[in-house]
Chain A
Amino acid sequence: MISYVMRKVLYTLLVLVGVVLVTFFIRPPGDPARVLLGQRADSASVAALREQLGLDKPLYHQVGTYMLNLTKGDLGRSIASQRPVSETIMERLPATALLAITSITIATVLGIFIGVIAAWRPNTWVDSTMMSVSLLGISLPAFVVGLLMVLLFGVVLEWFPISGYVDKGPEYLVLPMITLAIRPLAIIARVTRSSMLEVLGQDYVRTARAKGLSTQAVFLKHALRNALNPVVTTVSAWFAGLLAGTYFIEFIFNWPGIGLAAFNAIEKLDYPMIQGTVLFTAIIFVGVNTIADILYGYIDPKVRVS
């Protein structure tokens, strides 16, 4: 087990080196200093900015410095605000984390519930309605769902506020949270349903039924527990995907998280900020997946040797 964990961690570090390399090259095309200052800027100020950003050094030197700084937790300075990128990210992390964690919780609980109900009565109207609605949920990009939410619940029905953070009241969380939860909810519901249907066809479920257990006991004790494995994979994969979703949701609902910071940075081509937020998201993504992998190895010994 220990060697399995070591292997996993070492490989993850190797992947992270690649991730950092990709991130390093996220910068405006051509001469970033020229792009940032515009065509009319004089060459002296372009040269000054180039020096400030370290762009006057050879490429390998820039990559080296970038990596060295990263090991110290230094993500560079924002061009727009001149503040350290890591400071902005840490400041905004709670808002994003609140949104992501509440959303994935709702998506998991409701998704499993809907999936089990659909599997309970497969191919009935309950099942087909739920699955059609979930297909719609998968088909809509997050920002479209967000706009439709704003339109329906914010403007037409006026139930919830459409822009702002929870410091003004918990009702500000409702719309962004639901918007972010819809896609993973739809997917978790579908995965739960098909996984349940597969498990329900197994011999041990028939045995459980044959020995006279109630349908409820068969479903919840025998089938669901075994059906949850692929669901856990989906949840962990989607938690990471959710972080990317927050970029758009935060923009639409004016939610002061990391995504909104990235968004503003993209508009200004403030590339150290873009690099920082993308790298941060990727590291969380990789971290969550590695932990999930290690947990699998713990639960299922077969995984360890493969």
Chain B
Amino acid sequence: MSNYQAESPTHLAWKRLKKNKGAVVAMVVLLTMIVAAIAAPLITPFDPTTQVLEYSVKPAGFRGLIIYKINPSAPEVPSILAVRDYKLQGDSVHYHDPAGEAYVIARSALHGTTDSDFVGYPTFWLGTDRFGRDIFTRLIYGMRVSLSVGLISESIALLIGVVLGAIAGYYRGRVDDGIMWLVNVVWSFPTILLVVAFSVLLGKGYWQTFVAIGISSWVDIARIVRGQFFTIREQEYIEATRALGFGTFRTMFRHMLLNAIGPIIVLSSAGFATAIIAEASLSFIGLGVQPPTPSWGQMIKDGYGYIALGTNWGMTLFPSIAMALGVLVLNVFGDGLRDAFDPKTSQR
């Protein structure tokens, strides 16, 4: 007995992927982004929606003295007051705002219990936007939106695409004609226009955006799955499943689908990137995820007005870079996946 062990195509692909330096780097960046998005509150001291109007439109690296005030409507998220200086006297705090006006506030209205709990001198690493919100914080929280759009919209697209593609490829004939007609109809609209159209139809908001993108981007997947099923259906092992008396459902979704998984994975990673771009584009034109939830497209739009003025480019530049980086690593990773699953197409 030799101890030869058969390796699945997926395992072989994984081994090839590990050898591709670009893809590995992309994967590391991607994982870092995912971790950062999940652990956002641990990375940044700010809340993405808290406004400090006195510190609006500040450049990257700005530091400012602030005191935290208890926000009665949301105790866990303190309001922030910008101050020039402050003095604790007995039960009250005397401070000057950046304009030089003097104010007095009760200590009990401020955050924390010790003397220093309520003040901070934080650095706004990437500056602030027009409401004095920290851009770095909003980028990290915006990443949550982008990544969940990628994940959820792509899942919706996968579900529709795989089911329709599988049915068309398995049953062929009239069924195939009908599904292909639908595919061609959806195919006739540029994806981003279809997303815009569905957004008008479904209304603005978080879930509406996910659904609009999902139901606009399944055609590629359906086409690939259909093509794969066309060839797989002729294979002997499918004949074997019939001989064994397996049901159609089991044959389609356990035996045929698993053998078509490579191209589906590759397309999904491309679709993930497209979904992120689609969400940003939607937010940019005012549809999509609505304020105050931070999203990259919205941030770019907010900063857009300041570009022509020639002030504070960071408001547009940083979210643009974040998005370019995200989409770039997804594309590099997707290319790596494609080469790993199908070494024939790998570019020499």
Using CB atoms and an 8 Å cutoff, list the residues of chain A in contact with chain B.
11, 14-16, 18-19, 21-23, 25-29, 122-123, 135-136, 138-141, 143-144, 147-148, 150-151, 154-155, 162-163, 193-194, 197, 240-241, 243-244, 247-248, 251-252, 263, 266-267, 269, 271, 274, 278, 281-282, 285-286
- Give the shortest distance, in Å, between A249 (CB) and chain B (any CB): 12
Q: Which residues on the A side are within 8 Å of B280 (C-beta)?
A: 141, 144
- Given A15-B181, A141-B277, verify A267-B201 contact (CB < 8 Å): no
Q: Which residues on the B side are within 8 Å of A23 (C-beta)?
A: 197
In the complex, are the beta carbons of A162 and B308 less than 8 A apart? yes
**Pick the contact of B192 from A27, A139, A244 — CB < 8 Å?**
A244
In the complex, are the beta carbons of A285 and B190 less than 8 A apart? yes
Q: Which residues on the A side are within 8 Å of B331 (C-beta)?
A: 135, 138-139
In the complex, are the beta carbons of A139 and B190 less than 8 A apart? no
Q: Which residues on the A side are within 8 Å of B317 (C-beta)?
A: 148, 151
Interface window among B8-16, B38-46, B319-327: B319-327
The tally of CB-CB contacts under 8 A between chains A and B is 131
The secondary-structure label for the interface of chain A is: helix
The secondary-structure label for the interface of chain B is: helix
In this complex, the interface size class of chain B, counting residues with CB under 8 Å from chain A, is: 35 or more
Closest to A194 in B: B347
- Give the shortest distance, in Å, between B136 (CB) and chain A (any CB): 19
Using CB atoms and an 8 Å cutoff, list the residues of chain B in contact with chain A.
181-182, 184-186, 188-193, 196-197, 200-203, 273, 277, 280-281, 284-287, 300, 304, 307-308, 310, 313, 316-317, 320, 323-324, 327-328, 331-332, 335, 347-348
In the complex, are the beta carbons of A150 and B188 less than 8 A apart? no
- Give the shortest distance, in Å, between A233 (CB) and chain B (any CB): 14
In the complex, are the beta carbons of B313 and A278 less than 8 A apart? no
- Give the shortest distance, in Å, between A132 (CB) and chain B (any CB): 9
Q: Which residues on the A side are within 8 Å of B200 (C-beta)?
A: 26-28, 266, 269, 271, 274
**Pick the contact of A150 from B308, B328, B347 — CB < 8 Å?**
B308
In the complex, are the beta carbons of A281 and B193 less than 8 A apart? yes
Q: Which residues on the B side are within 8 Å of A15 (C-beta)?
A: 181, 184-185, 188
In the complex, are the beta carbons of B348 and A266 less than 8 A apart? no
In the complex, are the beta carbons of B287 and A144 less than 8 A apart? no
- Given A29-B203, A141-B280, verify A151-B300 contact (CB < 8 Å): no
**Pick the contact of A285 from B188, B316, B323, B347 — CB < 8 Å?**
B188
Q: Which residues on the B side are within 8 Å of A11 (C-beta)?
A: 184
In the complex, are the beta carbons of B300 and A22 less than 8 A apart? no
In the complex, are the beta carbons of A28 and B190 less than 8 A apart? no
In the complex, are the beta carbons of A144 and B323 less than 8 A apart? yes
Bound form: Cα–Cα A241–B277 in Å = 14
Q: Which residues on the A side are within 8 Å of B181 (C-beta)?
A: 14-15, 18
In the assembled complex, 14 residue pairs joining A and B whose CB atoms fall closer than 8 Å, in A order, are: A19-B185, A22-B186, A22-B189, A26-B201, A140-B323, A140-B324, A144-B320, A147-B320, A193-B347, A267-B285, A269-B200, A278-B193, A282-B193, A285-B189
Which 6 residue pairs are nearest across A and B when measured between Cβ atoms?
A: A244-B190, A18-B185, A139-B328, A139-B327, A26-B197, A141-B277
- Give the shortest distance, in Å, between B248 (CB) and chain A (any CB): 27
Bound form: Cα–Cα A144–B313 in Å = 13
- Given A162-B308, A197-B348, A266-B196, verify A143-B313 contact (CB < 8 Å): no
Q: Which residues on the B side are within 8 Å of A123 (C-beta)?
A: 348
Bound form: Cα–Cα A174–B182 in Å = 39
Q: Which residues on the B side are within 8 Å of A269 (C-beta)?
A: 200
Bound form: Cα–Cα A143–B320 in Å = 10
In the complex, are the beta carbons of B190 and A251 less than 8 A apart? no
Bound form: Cα–Cα A230–B244 in Å = 43
Bound form: Cα–Cα A22–B198 in Å = 10
- Given A18-B182, A27-B201, verify A282-B188 contact (CB < 8 Å): yes
Bound form: Cα–Cα A282–B332 in Å = 31
Closest to B284 in A: A143
Bound form: Cα–Cα A122–B335 in Å = 17
In the complex, are the beta carbons of B307 and A147 less than 8 A apart? yes
In the complex, are the beta carbons of A266 and B323 less than 8 A apart? no
Closest to B185 in A: A18
Q: Which residues on the A side are within 8 Å of B281 (C-beta)?
A: 141, 143, 248
Bound form: Cα–Cα A16–B300 in Å = 36
In the complex, are the beta carbons of A155 and B188 less than 8 A apart? no
Q: Which residues on the B side are within 8 Å of A241 (C-beta)?
A: 190
In the complex, are the beta carbons of B324 and A19 less than 8 A apart? no
In the complex, are the beta carbons of A29 and B185 less than 8 A apart? no
- Give the shortest distance, in Å, between A290 (CB) and chain B (any CB): 10
Bound form: Cα–Cα A281–B335 in Å = 30
